[in-house]
C-alpha cells in the first residue's frame, strides 16, 4: 500500500483480556518497528524486525507482550492479560533498511483498557 | 542510556511570531530527525540532518544540527496556526530514540 496501515484504529478492552494489534508496512520496507506512546510521554521503543534477522525485543516491557512478523510483511503485536497501564497509542513504523533516513509511521492503534 | 531532552515542553505563541525549540543530548548520533505529529495521527518526518553543523530549510522552518552531532534546533519564522502540533526529535544510532516532544500551539 501507499502508507503504513494499522488496525484497529481504536480498541477498548476489559482488563485481563488479550488483544492483537496489526501493522501492514509499506511494500518493500524490510524494517518494521513498534513504539508505544503514552499521554505526555515520548515514543517508547518496543520491538524491531529487520528482514530475516532475529527481532530486537529489548523494549518489550513484560512477557505479556509479544510480536511476530509473518513473511517479512505484516506484523501482529499481542498483549496478553491486559492491564490498565497498557492503555496507550501503539504506533508501527517501517523503513527501507537502516533507519538513518527516518521512518514512515502508521496512524496508530489507541488501546484503552477498562 | 541515550536520552534526548527537548525544550520547551509546551509553547503557545501568537501567529506571526518566531520561535525556536531545542533538542539536546550527551550522546553523539549518526543522524537526527525531526517529526511533527498531529492529534490522531502518527509522526510525520520533516527532515533528517546528518553532518555536524548542517543547516536545512523547509519553507519557514530551519533545522540545525550541532557541530558535535549531539544537539539540534528547529526555528520557525512567522508561525502560522497550521504549525500547531507536537514536534519530536529523534536520534539515530543502531535504532532511533525519541525525545518527549514540544507541544506547540499557534494562536490565530
In a domain, A44, yes or no: yes
pLDDT in tens, chain A (114 residues): 579 999 999 999 999 999 999 999 999 898 999 999 998 778 999 999 988 889 999 999 999 999 999 887 999 999 999 999 999 999 999 988 766 667 899 999 999 999
- Please count the structural domains in chain A: 1
CATH number, domain with residue A23: 2.60.40.10
In a domain, A82, yes or no: yes
Specify the residue for cell string 524486525: A49
A 10 A CB-CB count for A86 gives 21
In a domain, A6, yes or no: no
In a domain, A80, yes or no: yes
Q: Chain A residues with CB-CB distance to B under 8 A?
A: 4, 33, 35, 40-43, 45, 48, 56, 91, 93, 99-108
What are the structural domains, with CATH classification, of chain B? 22-107 (2.60.40.10)
In a domain, A70, yes or no: yes
Note down the domain range covering A77: 16-98
Contact check, Cβ <8 Å, B96/A103: yes
- Which helix (H) or strand (E) is A35 found in, with range? strand A31-37
Amino acid at each position: 500500500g501507499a502508507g503504513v496501515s494499522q488496525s484497529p484504529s481504536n480498541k477498548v478492552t476489559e482488563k485481563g483480556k488479550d488483544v492483537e494489534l496489526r501493522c501492514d508496512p509499506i511494500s518493500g520496507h524490510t524494517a518494521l518497528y513498534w513504539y508505544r506512546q503514552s499521554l505526555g510521554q515520548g515514543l517508547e521503543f518496543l520491538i524491531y524486525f529487520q528482514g530475516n534477522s532475529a527481532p530486537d525485543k529489548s523494549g518489550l516491557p513484560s512477557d505479556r507482550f509479544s510480536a511476530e512478523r509473518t513473511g517479512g510483511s505484516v506484523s501482529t503485536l499481542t498483549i496478553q492479560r491486559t492491564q490498565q497501564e497498557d492503555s496507550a497509542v501503539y504506533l508501527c513504523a517501517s523503513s527501507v533498511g537502516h533507519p538513518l533516513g527516518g521512518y514512515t509511521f502508521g496512524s496508530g492503534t489507541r488501546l484503552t483498557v477498562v | 542510556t541515550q536520552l534526548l531532552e527537548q525544550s520547551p515542553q509546551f509553547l503557545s505563541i501568537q501567529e506571526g511570531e518566531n520561535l525556536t525549540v531545542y533538542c539536546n543530548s550527551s550522546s553523539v548520533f549518526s543522524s537526527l530527525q525531526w517529526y511533527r505529529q498531529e492529534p490522531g495521527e502518527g509522526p510525520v518526518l520533516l527532515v533528517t540532518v546528518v553532518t555536524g553543523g548542517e543547516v536545512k530549510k523547509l519553507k519557514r522552518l530551519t533545522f540545525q544540527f550541532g557541530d558535535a552531532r549531539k544537539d539540534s534546533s528547529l526555528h520557525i519564522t512567522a508561525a502560522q496556526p497550521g504549525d500547531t502540533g507536537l514536534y519530536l526529535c529523534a536520534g539515530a544510532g543502531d535504532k532511533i530514540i525519541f525525545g518527549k516532544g514540544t507541544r506547540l500551539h499557534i494562536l490565530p
